[in-house]
Amino acid sequence: MPRNLFIFCLLLIANCISGSEDSEFCVKPDGVEVESKKCLATSNFSKKRYILYDVNPPEGFNLRRDVYVRVAVFVKKLLEENGEFDWNLVLPPWGNLYHWRSKNIGSQVGLPWGLFFDVSSLRKYIPVLEMYDFMKEYPSIGGEISLDIVYVLQNDEEMFKTGKFKDKNEIADCAKGKVRYEKIGKNKFTGNFWGYLNITARDVKCLTFQGTTSGLTKNLQPIFRSVVFDHMEIALHDFYGSKDYWTARRSMRYNQELYEIANEFRKNKLNSADLSDKTERPTDWKKEKGRRSALGGSYLALHLRRRDFLIGRSESVPTIENAALQLKKKLEELKLKTIFVATDAENEEYEELKKYLEDYIITKFIPSEYVRNKFKDGGIAIIDQIICSYARYFIGTHESTFTFRIQEDREIIGFPSNTTFNRLCGKEKKCSQGGKWEIVW
Ligand code: GFB
């Protein structure tokens, strides 16, 4: 039997058995006449396939952005190598993040990607759609969407104990207490589907997984039209730091209004503008070319990560006084007078830093009520990141993914890398600057 017909038969059987009343599930491929008990095939079979994903709840905004790049590269490869289906990535709404604690700015759940990113830019890399668009176009019964399968990725604890890692992809028992899905009927699981109560799944399987995202291709059986990978942070980058990685990363332009707010601040408070700073960029990221000639505004930008880093990573985080000493030295060397501070620090710590640096101009972005209410904590974080990414010199916080995303943006804009891969030293005896993840064009 030809492969396509075999796949079609599987699909037909699966969908008719599952009892879907939606005609999209019971149709035929081009030129094939099929009749079955429950459904009469009459129109072209849809080749659309949807990949959905979710991430471990405690993970922060900037690690989640990295997970997107992993999934985007995965989908890109599927489109290139597995062209019989039309693969689409559904963007998981943002929300309920541990660090997003601001009060009185409305709800911070179910936020669409378009609030933070330019979705049309993402689409120039792979087909993506917001969850609300997916929910409009995916077949539903009585307003309820039933996804075909959820794979819950879990680590192989043994590999973590022994430190010996090798690729693994095995259906396994679910780790106790870690699975957020519950069987409530035949072919019906409820769970935490991005907070939507009208989404369920036909099946949930736990997958002990070690390896890169492309290892998940084998779990995409043709009968599954919608596949969710939960704990997608467990799958590693296929080509970390490669051209593919950077192309996907370059497609992550921000919402245009966030650039406008950041640019207004640069102009008014930091005397910084693209023409004089040599940071002009084409509107279309695909037209961008590699360079190392960006100059940046005449300010030093600092990402000063505090709060949970003071506890979890106290060794690599300096005291405010010590941070001020390090900054002074650098400002003198660079002959700069202005510092832009992006921070999650309490205001007292920021004031303390200002006190130690009285001879310098120190500024931070203070959002208006409009910006707070519209763009919320995620948008304000991005504005801080944009302003840091246009500075003459950047100093970040060791191992903060917030810092990493700024470094990537600076690589894309085209700064000499010695102005980017710098960090504040903490209390460690040896303060290494960490890896330089330079862009590949
Ligand atoms: O983004 P993120 O994962 O970076 O988490 P790390 C830090 C969050 O704190 C950001 C806020 O998403 C912001 O909401 N934040 C931190 C800031 N720095 C700034 C800043 O300069 N400006 C603004 N506006 N907001 C990881 C966490 O944080 O650190 C993990 O994701 C864990 O859950 C680990 O806590 C220790 O990589 O810095």
The strand pairing partners of 188, in sequence order, are: 185
Label residue 6 by pLDDT band (50, 70, 90): very low
Would you say the C-alpha torsion 435, 272, 307, 322 has a positive or negative sign? positive
pLDDT in tens, 43-81: 335 899 999 999 999 999 999 999 999 999 999 999 999
Q: Residues 30, 96: one domain? A: no
Residue pair 225/134 in contact (Cβ under 8 Å)? The answer is: no
Confidence check: pLDDT of 198 > 80: yes
Q: Residues 208, 151: one domain? A: yes
The residue whose CA is least distant from atom 8 of ligand 1 is 99
When pLDDT is averaged across residues 198-215 and rounded to a whole number, the result is 98
How much of the chain, in percent, has pLDDT values that exceed 70?
90
400: CA distance to ligand 1 center in Å?
Answer: 7
60: CA distance to ligand 1 center in Å?
Answer: 6
Burial (CB count within 10 angstroms: exposed 0-12, middle 13-18, buried 19+), residue 185: exposed
CATH number where 207 lies: 3.40.50.11340
Q: Residues 78, 169: one domain? A: yes
Q: Residues 197, 335: one domain? A: no
- Residue 241 is assigned to a structural domain of this protein: no
pLDDT in tens, 289-324: 999 999 999 999 999 999 999 998 999 999 999 999
When pLDDT is averaged across residues 380-389 and rounded to a whole number, the result is 99
Residue pair 32/5 in contact (Cβ under 8 Å)? The answer is: yes
Who has greater pLDDT, 13 or 262?
262
Question: Can 358 be counted among the known catalytic residues?
Answer: no
- Residue 86 is assigned to a structural domain of this protein: yes
Confidence check: pLDDT of 262 > 50: yes
337: containing domain: 254-419
CATH number where 326 lies: 3.40.50.11350
* Edge-to-edge strand list for the sheet holding 149-154: 128-130, 86-91, 48-53, 226-230, 149-154, 204-210, 168-172
pLDDT in tens, 136-175: 999 999 999 999 999 999 999 999 999 999 999 999 999 9
Confidence check: pLDDT of 3 > 70: no
| Best of 99, 111, 261, 403 for a ligand 1 pocket test (most atoms within 8 Å of beta carbon) | 99
Q: Residues 156, 38: one domain? A: no
Give the integer Cα–Cα distance in Å for 240 and 414.
Answer: 20
Active-site entry in 59, 233, 352, 399 = 59
Q: Residues 324, 376: one domain? A: yes
94: CA distance to ligand 1 center in Å?
Answer: 15
The residue whose CA is least distant from atom 3 of ligand 1 is 60
Amino acid at 74: F
Q: Residues 137, 264: one domain? A: no
pLDDT of res. 45: 58
- Residue 67 is assigned to a structural domain of this protein: yes
First to last CA, the chain: 44
Give the integer Cα–Cα distance in Å for 45 and 29.
Answer: 4
How much of the chain, in percent, has pLDDT values that exceed 90?
85
**Residue 274 tokens, joined:** 């693209």
Q: Residues 95, 208: one domain? A: yes
DSSP-assigned letters across all residues of 89-137: EEEPPB---TT----SS---SSB-GGGTB-HHHHHTTS-EEEHHHHHHH
- Residue 289 is assigned to a structural domain of this protein: yes
The strand pairing partners of 65, in sequence order, are: none
Q: Residues 16, 52: one domain? A: no
Confidence check: pLDDT of 12 > 70: no
Atom of ligand 1 nearest to the CA of 303: 21
**Residue 195 tokens, joined:** 């907070």
54: Cα separation from own chain's centroid: 10
Total residue length of the chain: 441
pLDDT of res. 10: 43
pLDDT in tens, 95-106: 989 999 999 999
The residue whose CA is least distant from atom 9 of ligand 1 is 99
113: CA distance to ligand 1 center in Å?
Answer: 18
260: CA distance to ligand 1 center in Å?
Answer: 23
Q: Say how many domains are in the chain.
A: 3
The residue whose CA is least distant from atom 31 of ligand 1 is 60
Does an H or E element contain 59, and which?
A: none
Q: Residues 227, 298: one domain? A: no
Angle 386-304-393 from CA coordinates, rounded to 5°: 55
pLDDT of res. 430: 87
When pLDDT is averaged across residues 233-244 and rounded to a whole number, the result is 94
Q: Residues 230, 95: one domain? A: yes
The three-state (H, E, C) secondary structure of 297-356, written as one string: EEEEEEEECCCHHHHHCHHHCCCHHHHHHHHHHHHHHHCCCEEEEEECCCHHHHHHHHHH
Label residue 176 by pLDDT band (50, 70, 90): confident
Q: Residues 38, 50: one domain? A: no
Q: What is the largest CA-CA distance in the chain?
A: 83
| Best of 402, 405, 407, 424 for a ligand 1 pocket test (most atoms within 8 Å of beta carbon) | 402
- With a Cβ cut-off of 6 Å, ligand 1 is lined by 58-63, 98-100, 303, 305, 308, 312, 342-344, 377, 380-381, 384, 400-402
Could you give the dihedral angle defined by the CA atoms of residues 328, 333, 339 and 342, in that order, rounded to the nearest 10 degrees? -90
pLDDT of res. 433: 82
Confidence check: pLDDT of 345 > 70: yes
Give the integer Cα–Cα distance in Å for 336 and 133.
Answer: 48
Residue pair 395/424 in contact (Cβ under 8 Å)? The answer is: yes
Lowest mean pLDDT among 119-123, 178-182, 362-366: 178-182
**Residue 43 tokens, joined:** 């129109």
Give the integer Cα–Cα distance in Å for 279 and 298.
Answer: 12
| Residues 6 or more apart whose Cβ sits within 8 Å of residue 271 | 297, 298
- Residue 433 is assigned to a structural domain of this protein: no
